[in-house]
Amino acid sequence: MTSLNYEELGLKCGIEIHQQLSGKKLFCNCPAEIRKDNPDFRLKRHLRASAGESGAVDQAALYEVGKKKYYIYEGYEDITCLVELDCEPPHPLNQAALKAALQVAKMLNCRIVDEIQVMRKTVIDGSNTSGFQRTMLIGMNGSLEVNGKKIGIDTICLEEEACQIVERKKEYDIYNLSRLGIPLIEIATGPHITTPEEAKEVAAKIGMILRSTGACKRGIGTIRQDINLSIKGGARIEIKGFQELKSIPKIMDYEIERQLKLIKEGKQVESEVRKAEDDLTTSFLRPMPGMDRMYPETDIPPIKPDTEGISSVKTIEERIKELSSDFKLSPELAKEIISQEIDFVKLVKEFAKLQPKFIAETIINATKEIKARFKKDINVFEHLEVLQKANKNEIPTSAVFEILAEIASSDGNKPDYSKYKGMSDDDLEQEVVKLIKENPAAPINALMGMLMAKHRGKIDGKKAMALLNKHNK
């Protein structure tokens, strides 16, 4: 791939982020749970295109009609109800999902709409049993700062997640119903992104803000990015179908190269929706949809958003800085604590006589080191008794790692704490004085090494060094 000058190419890019929320589905009480085991039932449907609010049928919908396919839906009796089957009207809107969307809108400096009108978006590729997706505008005209640059946030919507494709055939497609109806926050930026790397950074920051609400699902497939891009002489292309942030720059470069080749050959670049393939190239998916696909949802009355009840949420970045500052932790340790959703303040209060940094390194790094050195897994939170004993000075802090390693190596058996019982301060001081007397010419680091080797796991390193400094004069 040749080096691309994005400024000369006039690259403009916007990103759409789609994030699933946890809890219940958007318009029923079914759990937001995705299953992939054998279904309890199957049903067959044909779908047709409806005219939008403008009175015209959307061209993307007409394209799907032309395929003349039917659709098979697979469902589960415990997590699929008549709402997903389009055999019952939608229930009242999930208020927890609405609250999360409003929080995100505030965090992205959006103007929240005065009244929420649920709309139907015509979708007849089989991904929704009803032939439309319910969506609603929550906020608009927001902004986000990335590396000192202001990126506009055009819209924030709350909508239903689609069915999950199981298999595609020429005559029909098979879909899994369990994903249908999971709450989905859609965030669309303006076309203010001018490099592929910047696109990746914007997507990463929006993802961080979404996770900061604590309402998002986690794991592969729970967040997706669509890329809209154009260059001079080309056309606006929407790229769908990829999840990993690291793939954004290469996908964009490949698409730019494809358009440049068409322009060089004197061919027209068509505005269309394209699918990201496994090799990060793109292929035609369908024509670019327009506003003809939208019309109001008649089963749900307009909703007045309660913005007064929406509290501000600290972002993950802000929480990392706060944790680092309050407890003198490295940003890396603080980030791990936040990402694992550990109540660190509670731990510091519970083990008040231990240094916060020691607590953090034990719960985060000790687990990794034991895995690396002994090929054993251990959940420190299942063995907090070790920290409790260190907090009560029943064992020295220097013994904590060895005890956890012993527990891991013995597959969770209770350790013999008596063999790790620490020396008293008086006994330690006597030992230091004796060691200095026996090795008068030894430097202090050598004395420390001898002391720790002899009493490994039974003495506090800081106390030992302080006593060596005191008596080695």
Q: Over the stretch 98-109, which tens digit does the pLDDT of each residue have?
A: 999 999 999 999
Residue 99: what pLDDT? 95
Would you say residue 266 has pLDDT above 80? yes
Which two three-digit tokens encode residue 94? 């999930």
Residue 323: what pLDDT? 94
| The pairing of beta strand 172-176 with beta strand 70-75 | parallel
Question: How far is the C-alpha of 462 from the C-alpha of 384, rounded, in Å?
Answer: 23
More confident residue, 1 or 406: 406
Helices (H), 53-134: 59-65, 95-107
Question: How far is the C-alpha of 61 from the C-alpha of 286, rounded, in Å?
Answer: 9
Would you say residue 134 has pLDDT above 90? yes
Would you say residue 463 has pLDDT above 80? no
Asked if 139 and 111 touch (Cβ cutoff 8 Å), the reply is yes
Of the listed ranges 38-52, 126-140, 239-253, 442-456, the least confidently predicted one is 442-456
Residue 226: what pLDDT? 94
Question: How far is the C-alpha of 447 from the C-alpha of 464, rounded, in Å?
Answer: 10
Residue 337: what pLDDT? 94
Most confident listed range (58-67, 153-162, 339-348, 396-405): 153-162
Residue 7: what pLDDT? 95
| The pairing of beta strand 41-45 with beta strand 111-112 | unpaired
Quote the mean pLDDT of the chain.
90
At residue 273 the predicted structure's pLDDT band, cuts being 50, 70 and 90, is very high
Among 439, 473, 468, which residue's Cα sits nearest to residue 452?
468
User: Which H or E element spans position 138?
Assistant: strand 132-146
Residue 425: what pLDDT? 67
Mean predicted confidence (pLDDT) in 301-311: 87
Residue 2: what pLDDT? 60
Asked if 151 and 336 touch (Cβ cutoff 8 Å), the reply is no
Sign of CA dihedral 278, 280, 284, 290: positive
Residue 457: what pLDDT? 58
Which two three-digit tokens encode residue 433? 């004085």
Domain ranges of the chain: 6-309, 316-471
Question: How far is the C-alpha of 229 from the C-alpha of 261, rounded, in Å?
Answer: 16
Determine the distance from the C-alpha atom of residue 454 to the mean position of all C-alpha atoms in its chain, rounded to a whole number.
Answer: 47
Would you say residue 391 has pLDDT above 70? yes
Does this model's pTM top 0.85? no
Would you say residue 405 has pLDDT above 80? yes
Of the listed ranges 105-119, 265-279, 298-312, the least confidently predicted one is 298-312
Would you say residue 172 has pLDDT above 70? yes
Would you say residue 129 has pLDDT above 90? yes
Residues 6+ apart with CB under 8 A from 361: 333
Total length of the chain:
473
Sign of CA dihedral 378, 380, 382, 388: positive
Mean predicted confidence (pLDDT) in 399-409: 88
Would you say residue 82 has pLDDT above 80? yes
Distance between start and end Cα atoms, the chain: 67
More confident residue, 406 or 21: 21
Residue 17: what pLDDT? 96
Which two three-digit tokens encode residue 461? 């390193």
Of the listed ranges 6-10, 59-63, 83-87, 95-99, the least confidently predicted one is 59-63
Q: Is 250 exposed, middle or buried (0-12, 13-18, 19+ CB in 10 A)?
A: middle
Question: How far is the C-alpha of 181 from the C-alpha of 28, rounded, in Å?
Answer: 8
